[in-house]
Amino acid sequence: MSVTEHIILIGSILLTGVLSMAFYGKVKKLSKVLLAFSGAFLVSITFLHLFPIIYHSDNHSIGIWVIAGFFGQLFLEQFSSGVEHGHSHIHSHQNSNVLIMQVMFGLTIHSFVEGLSLGGFEMHGHEHDHHSHLLSEDVNPLLVGIVLHHVPAAFALMMVFASSLVSKWKILLCLTIFAIMPSLGALTVIHFNFDQEVILMILAFVSGSFLHVATTILFETDNTNHKIPYKTLLAALSGVLLSLLTV
Ligand SMILES: [Zn+2]
Ligand SMILES: [Zn+2]
């Protein structure tokens, strides 16, 4: 992974955190549209990039890892209250310190594992040079997917903090931990030169987790009676179109 990619990954989260402190209302509106966009993009890159790699392999029980990722994410959301899909289903009577520890626990594991897949995807790409990107040779679609859903997640995290009485430096610390986790995961895989078998399992696990996050996002967009507002629908459609550019 290049330095620029790490900067994008970390910078986008820190920037969102700071901006949402300053412009709460505006960011909230934007966040909804971005969520639908990111959900559609995530589910699309899973089908376009991750599934072909996973199901092309000789490991016939690899699907178990997809299931593990799907339900593993469901398990993590018991702690994080859904922050990683851009929501905070939180009741204000909870003790704020315990709450923040819980949220950070779920969120840290989630972003570290996604980071592992970032590094794994890149290493897999070097071994099998079968990618032909319309968008750009160098764009890692997983990186785009992670940034797109972590920006609303950073906003949701700030909302959790807003309803608690936590000091500013603690907020900044949590935001930074969340921001650097994907980079840390990616560097771990590359530094320790993970085995291709293990990388495959990670990619399968993260596909499952992406599917969970993306479908939750799309189901939770305010679609009363299965009627999604046209703005949200348009955002989702744009997400799919952008993903097609990475094929
Ligand atoms: Zn939710
Ligand atoms: Zn994520």
pLDDT (tens digit per residue) in 72-126: 999 999 998 888 888 777 766 667 788 888 999 999 999 999 999 999 998 887 6
What's the token pair of residue 225?
Answer: 């009676």
List the alpha helices (DSSP H) in the chain.
Answer: 3-22, 24-45, 51-56, 63-80, 96-127, 141-162, 168-191, 196-220, 230-244
Q: Is the pTM above the cut of 0.75?
A: yes
The pair phi, psi for residue 65, each rounded to 5°, is -70, -30
Q: What is the pLDDT of residue 221?
A: 75
* Nearest alpha-carbon partner for 203 in 115, 107, 120, 111: 120
For residue 221, give every residue at least 6 positions away whose Cβ sits within 8 Å of its Cβ, in sequence order, or none.
Answer: 32, 35, 36, 39, 228, 229, 232, 236
Amino acid identity for residue 39 in this structure: G
Q: Can you tell me whether residue 224 is helix, strand or coil?
A: strand
Residue 136 has pLDDT above 60, yes or no: no
Q: What separation in Å is there between the alpha carbon of 150 and the centre of ligand 2?
A: 6
User: Percentage of the chain with pLDDT > 70?
Assistant: 90
Number of domains in the chain: 1
* Nearest alpha-carbon partner for 145 in 50, 54, 230: 50
Q: Can you give the length of the chain in residues?
A: 247
Q: What separation in Å is there between the alpha carbon of 13 and the centre of ligand 2?
A: 11
Mean of the pLDDT values across residues 59-72?
Answer: 95
The domain of 221 spans 3-244
Q: What separation in Å is there between the alpha carbon of 114 and the centre of ligand 2?
A: 6
Question: Whose atoms come closest to the Cα of 111: which ligand?
Answer: 2
Please identify every residue whose CB atom is under 5 Å from ligand 1, which is an ion.
Answer: 82, 87, 220
